[in-house]
Amino acid sequence: MPYPSRVIAEHHARIVREKAIHRGLITLSREIAERAYEAPPQWTPDYADESIAVAEYGIAKIAARTVHKPEPGKAETLSTILWKLEHQGRRLDP
C-alpha cells in the first residue's frame, strides 16, 4: 500500500529541516574553531568574551530559523484537560 503523498512530503520536510540545522551547526562550528585558532598572539579576556558572544549569536540565529510547533488551540487544550480529569491518578497520556 503506497503512502499518501502528504505523509511523504511531511517526512521529507522534516529530513530537510534537520539537515539544514545540522549544516548550520557544522558551519558555525568551523567558524568558531577558525576564530579560536586565529586568536591574537597576546591573549586578552576581551577576545575570549567576544568569541563566546559570536558563538552565542550564531546558535541563536540557527535556533530562530527553526520551525516551532504551534501552540495548541482552545479545543485541544480543553480536550487534554478533560482527559486528565477523567483519568486522574493514572500515568497515561492521551
Q: Which domain holds residue 14?
A: 5-86
Please check whether residue 92 lies inside any domain of the structure: no
Structural domain tally of the chain?
1
Query: What pTM value is reported for the model?
Result: 0.59
Please check whether residue 53 lies inside any domain of the structure: yes
Quote the CA–CA distance of 55 and 28 in Å, as a whole number: 7
Quote the CA–CA distance of 1 and 49 in Å, as a whole number: 57
List the grid coordinates of 75: 479545543
List the grid coordinates of 71: 501552540
Please check whether residue 62 lies inside any domain of the structure: yes
Q: Contact, 17 vs 63, CB < 8 A?
A: no
Please check whether residue 93 lies inside any domain of the structure: no
Please check whether residue 23 lies inside any domain of the structure: yes
Tell which residue, 70, 28, 26, has the closest CA to residue 52: 28
Give 10-residue mean pLDDT values along the chain (94 residues).
74 90 95 89 83 92 76 82 76 52
Residue type, 54: V
